[in-house]
Amino acid sequence: MKDLRTTFLEHVKKGLNGKVLPLKVLFWDGHEYLFDKNFLVTMHLKSAKIITQLLTGSALDVLGEGYVEGDIGIEGRYQDILAVAEGLSDAFPAKKPKTGILHKALHSKAKDKEAIHYHYDVSNDFYKLWLDRNMVYSCGYFKTGKEDIDIAQEQKLDHICRKLHLQPGEKLLDIGCGWGGLLTWAAKHYDIQGVGVTLSEEQFAFAKERIEREGLTDRVEIRLQDYRDIPERDHFDKVTSVGMFEHVGRAKLPEYFEVINRVLKEGGWVMNHGITASQQDDEGGHHSGSDFMDKYVFPDGEIPHLWRVVRDMAGQNLEVIDVENLRPHYAQTLIHWVDRLEAHKDEAVAMVGEKRYRIWAIYMAGCAYAFWRNWSALHQVLAIKQTGEELTPRPWERRYQYEENQYRLAEPDWGDL
């Protein structure tokens, strides 16, 4: 009977199919194996149970959990570690659920609040270590790719405001407002009246204090509130949702967009910014790495494909007028975050512990790799509430998003007809 070390090596060699894996493996019993003498990654399997788990589960899930729980030691650059992990996932492909029935989160208000609390209420000071100066926890916007994270996030905030064509005095609702970065920027630079809602108590406290500190209490209100409980009707000129709808759930998207329809004025604009599945058959969420994310990072998170987003918006009279894929922007943002977290490792571990530090480091590095590899995408979808037959106001072209004074209202010119 083969021992587990031999079984592991045979699986990996067969799965690689002649490809080079720059990996050195140290086994629990002192043995070691070099897949390539010019190895870039050293992996220490501290227990034989890891191999058993690889044989029966998903490689990315097993490796991620093993690293977080301390059963696997890993040395090397994140980009090399993740490339090696992808190679190992080819040797140990994810197993489909035996029942064929995928878990679907109920997304009740209580469940959603619990999930948000787990991820976002870690510690404001922890997030301060590696987020930008505006505390923006979503994809930045790069014009050259060389910007630091502070500039990239300010460019993103401004890009959203320009894309929405915000005007002084307009009422802006930000669903999932985080630490208040977008509303603060919009109030200071575009002179809007804003309302932000969040389920995170830590974010709520920080954003309220921030609004007071910056003298914006007469223009911005922050609420600890579920999006389903927003009471306004036909009230807001513009609505933003940035990095929030991943928590909504695919089955709840029609209800989510119905709420947006309800709170928007006729002709109002909404900009939905969120992670999307790169392939339609990825929507089920049960792919290599998804179990790790569900357990350790985003409980009950669900990623829809773009087709579903556009369909469900259209079902609520939200006419899509602009779609932008920011996939490379999110990859670069995550690289900045991981680099900054690594630079503050000792402080982070002191705040949240070694385990949570490892979770955040490997999840963000893994997501950066996933965006570069087109395993995930990020779309900004701009839509207008259009319930009547008349053309709601919109620009002829997109130049207004990038150049001053380029907004040209689209109106039919019938001439002599």
Taking the C-alpha atoms of residue 150 and residue 213, their distance in angstroms, rounded to an integer, is: 20
How far is the C-alpha of 172 from the C-alpha of 351, rounded, in Å? 35
Counting beta carbons within 10 angstroms of the beta carbon of residue 224, is it exposed (0 to 12), middle (13 to 18) or buried (19 or more)?
middle
Active site residue 367: yes
β-pairing, 32-34 with 41-45? unpaired
| 152 to 219, 318, 379: CA distances (angstroms) | 25, 29, 17
Q: Which residues are CB-neighbours of 402 under 8 A, at least 6 positions away?
A: 162
* CB of 121 closer than 8 Å to CB of 85: no
Question: Which single residue is written with the structure tokens 């100066």?
Answer: 133
The set of catalytic residues is: 367
